[in-house]
Structures are given as structure tokens and as C-alpha cells.
Amino acid sequence: MTTHATLHWRAMHQQDLHQVNAIAAIVHPDYPESPEVFAERLVLSPATCWVVADDRDQFQLHGYAIAHPAVLGQPPALDTLLHRCNPKSDCLYLHDLALTQATRGAGLGIALVDLLVRQAQAHGFDSLALTAVNQSQGYWRERGFDDYAGIDQRLCDKMASYDAQAVYLTRCLRNIGNPH
């Protein structure tokens, strides 16, 4: 039995990808991505890919988060390979977050935002970005994200690759010190 007290984020490893893809299929059935997308993100930015594990069983995963450097306002479309991180990247983009039903309410989202802030600052970025789906905009706004002001047709087209309700959100980190 999993208890919230034993759940934590840890670095994602190659051998985790099978479970990551299985969790994605359950949590995000309307937003399918090929296994190659997750594998590529892990290779391109291993320091910003995490899984939720249980202290009592590190190999049974309960969620994941995949982030990578990106250019603000230029997220990848759904199910798109990057081939490389853009050398002009200026933000950390949360590509995907999925938590199993058993983990909801465990504070993992708050802990993830702390991880994202620390990694963005370590990369020298002053912004976070994400694409909110499944009516999650309110959740992310409560954690300091706002609608992106620079919306153009290219961004709208990329959001449409998710669905008509997808929203691109950003969080400025310029006035945030070290979160711990």
C-alpha cells in the first residue's frame, strides 16, 4: 500500500520509460505521444526528467514529469521530436506531468514546482512555461503561472495540436530567490 508520506520525486532513468509510457496512456489518453518522444526528452535533458517513486519500492512508479529547455513562446507541438535543445533556449518548459490517482493530494505538484524553479535557475533561465490541458489552468495559476502575453498564430497552431482548450502558461522567476 502506498502512503503519501513515502512518495517522492527522483531522477528518471532509461529503465523507467516503459512505466512512464504506461502511466501516460492512463492519465493522458487524449494526448498520446510516441515512446520516442519521452526517450528523446530524457536523453536531451536528463536533469529535468523525474518520476514519482515510493520509498518502499523505488521501481514501482506513480507519476512522472518531463521538462526541457525551450524558447519562450515556442513550445513543441504534441508528439514532436526535438532532435536537440534549441541553443537560444531561455526558459524551462514542462513538457508533461502525469500523476496516478493514488498520488493526488500528496503535495507532489508543489514539490515539482520547486524542482522546476531550481533547475530553471541552474540553467540561468528566468521563466518557466507549460501547456495546460484537462482544465488544469487554475491549478497552475495558483502556483504562479499566467497566460502568455505574446500569443501569435504559430503558438495557437501548436496549442491546437493538443486541443481547443489547451493554454500556454508562463511563470516569471526574475524576482524569486533560491526557493530553499
Task: Break the chain into its structural domains and give their ranges.
Answer: 7-172
The pLDDT assigned to 178 comes to 46
**Residue 179's pLDDT band (cuts 50, 70, 90):** very low
pTM above 0.85, yes or no: yes
Tell me if 42 sits within 8 A of 11, measured CB to CB: no
Give the separation between CA 79 and CA 76, rounded to whole angstroms. 8
Q: What is the pLDDT of residue 174?
A: 86
- pLDDT value at 180 more than 70: no
What is the rounded average pLDDT of the residues 119-134? 95
Cβ atoms of 45 and 68 within 8 Å: the answer is yes
Q: What residues contact 133, with CB distance under 8 A and at least 6 apart?
A: 28, 30, 31, 162, 163, 165, 166
Mean pLDDT, the chain, rounded, equals 91
Q: Which CATH class is domain 7-172?
A: alpha beta
What pLDDT is stored for residue 172 in this prediction?
96
The whole-angstrom separation of Cα 138 and Cα 129 is: 15
Average of per-residue pLDDT across 92-111: 93
Share of the chain above pLDDT 70, in %: 95
In the chain, the percentage of residues whose pLDDT exceeds 90 is: 76
